[in-house]
Structure 1
Amino acid sequence: MSESDCSKLHIAMFPWVAYGHFIPFLHLSNKLAEKGHKISFILPEGVQPKLAKMNQFPNLIQFIPLVIPQVDGLPPGAETTHVVPLNQQKYLAFAVDQTRDQVEDILKLLKPDMVFYDFWFWIPRLARQLGISPVIYLVASSVFLGMWLNPKKLTEETTVEEAIELPPGYPSSTVRFKAEEAPELLFYAEDFGSGLSLQERIRVGLIESDAIAFRSCREIEGPFLDYVAQGFGKPVLLSGPCLTETKTPQLDEKWDKWLSQFEPGSVVFCSFGSQIVLRKDVFQELVLGFESCGLPFLVALKPPQGCLTIEEALPEGFQERVKGRGLVYGGWVPQELLLHHPNIGCFVNHCGYGTMWEFLLSDCQILLIPEIADQILNTRLMVDELRIGVEVKRGKNRQVSKESLSEAIKLVMNKENETANMLRANRAKLKQTLSGRDVHEEHINNFIQALKDLVQK
């Protein structure tokens, strides 16, 4: 392709069918479209209305509907993980694998320069047959990619010691799994549709890609990014945080009014994202921890397992005891806007990769309770390498007690505590490095140039 031909790129996006993947792919699409590049976003036909309001450049970002076939084991009409339990998502993956012919027809018609994908191991070979460059775009951290560089393939027979062993040359001895966390890691060895494990799907996608792209920057993951680049022998492209500026910068009046009752930096905010549904006993222990910390708090969690509403899940007498000080909410909340409210002083979260980027640009103290494998390693990166947060201690069976949560909150919110002040200073310094439009502009401009170089080869 000549220089003039590639002045504007045409990129197809085909993420895993989960909102935690659609949204970061769309954030990147908005950043690329802002620079005049064309995006064809392949997604299940029922998802488009839900994402349309996030498409900031409808003249350049076109949604391409995909019909997900019905397969045995999949709930009727299911198109995304939002309505499919984790133990049934292998059927969803298998169903999307059956759309290969549809995707081929779409790509033949669109003729994009490149296609971004993640879980679809069959995309690289298909793309190359059509003269399209395949780029794997990962919405997980490079620290998590360590397991795919481990020469030992994960299987259901893998021992705990094998599962948590660090691969040769891994750049950290602390960003790792503990023995009791091995079951979370071994999930990636289980069948995830079409006779492949999730590890095999991603490993094939990595090996057969032209480049590996991350929603990241060197300031956060530098040594790990170098490790991945060397291990796979691929260019590693960095888009930067890619957080899209919201069109509604003002927090809804109901939240602002509630928060305004309290002192600046005094409120503890908790959210675990849209996918995590806790057991009722775990949920109750957590909210009791917030009650006992003595500070005002806003907890946004989905109703726990077996409960239709938050209210029916709360401990007896809880609402009366925390009235006027604490609020537990079961619906969606504007997390990013809440994190920038001056009265929020502490954020308790699961350290999902998207959430991680939101809190890195906030002024909150950070407490982490990771639930699944990638969140565990993200947490160790924040706690042990960057030293900007605290991981809440777990007890027997990896449970978080109300006492350990309450103690952790009191620790980071104590303005006279040396550790708390060190965390605050480290986070402020990192935020200053990551903030500013110039920094984000530099990341996306370098990313686009790297894509152009890839197409021109």
Structure 2
Amino acid sequence: MDMPEFENGHKLLHIAMFPWIGMGHVTTFLHLGNELSQRGHRISFLLPMKALVKLDHNHDHSHPIKFHILNVPHVDGLPPGAETCSDIDDNLTEKNPLAVAFDAMSEQVEALLRSLNPDIVFYDFAHWIPRLAAVIGFKTVCYNTVSASCMSYTVVPARRIPKDRMMTAEELAEPPEGYPSSTVVLRGQEGLMMSFICEDYGDVKFDVRMSTALWGCDAIGVRTCSEMEGPMCEYVSRQYGKPVILTGPVLPRVQEEVPLEEKWDTWLSKFDEKSVVYCAFGSQTILQKKQFQEMLLGFEMTGLPFIVAMSKPHGADTIEEALPEGFTERVGGRGVVHGGWVQQTQILNHPSVGCFVSHCGFGSMCESLMSDAQIVAVPQFGDQVLNARLMAAELKVAVEVERGEMGWFSKEDLSNAVKSSVMDVGSDVGEIVRENHAKWKETFVAPKFMDDYIDRFIKQLYHL
């Protein structure tokens, strides 16, 4: 029989992780798993095979994480072979069939957890995990991949949507009682959030799913830092009456040792320092073809070199088919539109890159603050709206593109945000953003900043 290993008088923990099967969630859990594994803790990771295949460039293979494969059952509306959010088109269904399949995996998950017998289980959308904890006997952490600002605004008990109707835009625009910010709000962009928070995730509305997940856990984990969102974290803790424990940004260290792919390094190196605009909206953000084309025309209008890494839009079979007429000939060699994955960390830190146009996923926001690339925020839905307000209005480290109520923006608005506010030297807004950005980068890259957060997080896990 194996004897338990100890560190500083504590038995090393066995932690099981079961995130929602969107790749942004899976990779965030994995980055934390890598950090915990580096410190000797045993990590069991539950996920479908397709998600594991997509993880290869994020996995620190020098530290063992045991992956356990789950079968995604077929349910009505789920395309054959679909196992992650990247495999489905959310716009084509009223009810997310992947969420139905996700909940249908509960028996598989229960059997695995009984076999593994972990000390703690980390989860997010699986609101039924606390029920298993009561039967099997483990502690639970509801680990959130979104910002504390988003949690404070949308999933605290006061924000629960009435069961007999959808919340109105006016109600959603009004911050909940005691909310600790006057700037991180939805006013003017309620439409971008309504479809997100009011939608059905399987047989459960999103806000009910998340409130249940948070009420049932032993501790709430958040990938943020108190320097950035301390009052928001305290607010969530008061609302749910339980500890909120922070991991810090948890960015992938393994990327530091991997050089940028030669073809991208060669292309970027053709341009002057800090002159290139890089744009990425994440694998789950798919624009309508008209908006996709308007965005590309906006980059063309800047006159700056640019690289866009984005999924093909709705209504197009390929990226090339979706390009505006004559676009390739007009931009020549100064613009690249790529439909696949790229090494974002390395691109952001390339000397030629000066601006990052982002959908404002929280991981990308933290990642960009560790680079010198200035941030232009173009949130598309859900938590991204509040992240953009946090960065642009509260921390003043980004410029948010002006847009209409439902999130549409013009080529002129995008070009102005990139060029006049961020890239032009001498712009008042640009100078404020650059100065604040530099301060946050100094904080994030300070020696032991990340390590200290993880070490404190582990101590708080022992308190459970």
Instruction: Tell me which interval the TM-score lies in, with the shorter structure as reference length.
Output: over 0.9
Aligned equivalent of 1:431: 441
**Cα gap change, 1:404 to 1:434, in 2 (>3 Å):** same
**3-state SS, counterpart of residue 347 of structure 1:** strand
Aligned equivalent of 1:124: 130
Matched, 1:330 2:339: yes
Per-residue CA distance 1:7-45 (angstroms, 9 max, x = gap):
310000000011111101000000000000000001113
User: Could you tell me how far 1:277 is from its partner in structure 2?
Assistant: 1.3
Q: Which of 212, 224, 229 is the matching residue for 2:220?
A: 212
**3-state SS, counterpart of residue 398 of structure 1:** coil
Aligned equivalent of 2:179: 170
Residue pair 1:119, 1:205 contacting (<8 A) in 2 also: yes
> How many residues end up aligned between the 2 structures?
453
Aligned equivalent of 1:287: 296
Distance in 2 between the 1:405 and 1:120 partners? 37
Distance in 1 between the 2:389 and 2:451 partners? 29
Residue pair 2:124, 2:144 contacting (<8 A) in 1 also: yes
Q: Which of 127, 131, 145 is the matching residue for 1:139?
A: 145
Matched, 1:153 2:157: no
Q: Which of 271, 296, 316 is the matching residue for 2:305?
A: 296
**Cα gap change, 1:292 to 1:137, in 2 (>3 Å):** same
Q: Which of 387, 393, 401 is the matching residue for 2:410?
A: 401
Aligned equivalent of 2:102: 96
1:58-457 aligned within 5 A: 60-87=64-91, 88=93, 90-145=96-151, 146-149=153-156, 151-155=158-162, 156-182=165-191, 184-193=193-202, 195-246=203-254, 248-395=257-404, 397-411=406-420, 412-454=422-464
Residue pair 1:251, 1:337 contacting (<8 A) in 2 also: yes
Task: List runs of 5+ in structure 2 lacking aligned partners.
Answer: none
User: Could you tell me how far 1:90 is from its partner in structure 2?
Assistant: 2.4
**Fraction of identical pairs, as percent:** 47
Residue pair 1:395, 1:401 contacting (<8 A) in 2 also: no
**Cα gap change, 1:18 to 1:33, in 2 (>3 Å):** same
Q: Which of 48, 54, 60 is the matching residue for 1:50?
A: 54
User: Could you tell me how far 1:375 is from its partner in structure 2?
Assistant: 0.2
Cα RMSD of the aligned pairs, angstroms, is 1.9
Q: Return the letter of the residue paired with 2:187.
A: K
**3-state SS, counterpart of residue 338 of structure 1:** helix
Q: Which moved more, 1:401-410 or 1:53-62?
A: 53-62
Q: Which moved more, 1:46-55 or 1:358-367?
A: 46-55
User: Could you tell me how far 1:178 is from its partner in structure 2?
Assistant: 1.9
User: Could you tell me how far 1:184 is from its partner in structure 2?
Assistant: 2.5
User: Could you tell me how far 1:246 is from its partner in structure 2?
Assistant: 2.7
Q: Return the letter of the residue paired with 1:85.
A: D
User: Could you tell me how far 1:183 is from its partner in structure 2?
Assistant: 5.3
Distance in 1 between the 2:455 and 2:278 partners? 35
**3-state SS, counterpart of residue 332 of structure 2:** coil
Residue pair 2:189, 2:385 contacting (<8 A) in 1 also: no
Distance in 1 between the 2:447 and 2:274 partners? 25
**Cα gap change, 1:150 to 1:232, in 2 (>3 Å):** closer
Q: Return the letter of the residue paired with 1:148.
A: V
Distance in 2 between the 1:101 and 1:272 partners? 34
User: Could you tell me how far 1:251 is from its partner in structure 2?
Assistant: 0.9
**Cα gap change, 1:374 to 1:390, in 2 (>3 Å):** same
**Cα gap change, 1:396 to 1:387, in 2 (>3 Å):** closer
**Cα gap change, 1:421 to 1:203, in 2 (>3 Å):** same
TM-score calculated relative to the size of structure 2: 0.93
Distance in 2 between the 1:49 and 1:402 partners? 37
Distance in 1 between the 2:270 and 2:8 partners? 58
Residue pair 2:139, 2:218 contacting (<8 A) in 1 also: yes
